[in-house]
Structure 1
Amino acid sequence: MEVLMEKKLSQTDIEYRLAFPTSSLRAFPMPEGETAVYFEATDTLENEWNFRLSIRGENDRYTKPVITGDWLQFVRDKGLKVGDKIFLTREEGVNGVRYSIRAERKIFKVWANVQ
């Protein structure tokens, strides 16, 4: 299993879109000339979430990749807050690539999964 992203959530992440690390873009092959790719990720309860990873055009001053799609619904359903952590992982298997998403919150100095 490859961890594509481990991040503490910011205000922007929980209100608008999730900033995604440019270094992990290689895990999402984007067709030539395209600026977005769609993928499905499964959470710890085996719920499936449809996300959109997009990069902005070369002429846009904001070039950082972002995740949208079901992202804000995921935030609401999990009750995520600023400072919670998000993990996005990728695993290759016989049935192809599988993405998983997990959220954690610090409770009494220990990080615990958010269901």
Structure 2
Amino acid sequence: MEVLMEKILSRTDIERRLAFPTSSRRAFSMLEGETAVYFEATDTIEKKWNFRLSRRSVITGDWLQFVREKGLKVGDKMFMWREEGATGVRYSVRAERQIFRVWVNVQ
């Protein structure tokens, strides 16, 4: 498993788009001339989300729907990772919120 990002969410992340680390963009196959790559990520309850990663290193697509459905707020934490297996590459996403100094999954 390769962790692509671990990030405390900002206002821009929850209101517009998720800023993605440029260093992790290498985990996606973006062909020369393409401006974005589309990928599917599964959350902790096995729901699938369709995201778009642009060359500018921002994630859109279902991102704002994910934020709304999970009730994410500024200060929540977001994780994304990549796993390679016999059936190919799988991306996963998870959100956490700190409650009484303990990080818990946001379902």
Structure 1 residues not aligned, in runs of 5+:
57-64
- The counterpart of 1:110, out of the listed 78, 102, 105, is 102
Deviation track 1:53-82 (CA, whole Å, cap 9, x = no partner) reads: 0014xxxxxxxx100000000000000000
The residue number in structure 2 matching 1:79 is 71
Deviation at 1:32, TM superposition (A): 0.9
- Structure 1 match to 2:86: 94
Moved over 2 A (4+): none
Could you list the runs of 5+ residues in structure 2 that have no partner in the other structure? none
SS of 1:75's partner is helix
Larger Rg: 1
Matches within 5 A, 1:51-66: 51-56=51-56, 65-66=57-58
The residue aligned with 1:29 is: 29
**Residue 24 of structure 2 aligns to a residue in which SS?**
helix
Cα distance in structure 2, aligned partners of 1:108 and 1:52: 34
Taking the aligned partners of 2:7 and 2:82, their CA distance within structure 1 comes to: 15
Aligned length: 107
CA deviation map 1:51-110 (0-9, x unaligned): 000014xxxxxxxx1000000000000000000000000000000000000000000100
Q: Distance in 1 between matches of 2:65 and 2:50?
A: 10
Identity of aligned pairs, percent? 80
Q: Given the two structures, how large is their TM-score scaled by the length of structure 1?
A: 0.92
| Distance in 1 separating the partners of 2:21 and 2:2 | 14
The TM-score with structure 2 as length reference comes to 0.99
In 1, Cα distance between equivalents of 2:2 and 2:104: 20
The Cα RMSD (Å) is 0.5
CA distance in 2: counterparts of 1:29 and 1:22, whole angstroms: 13
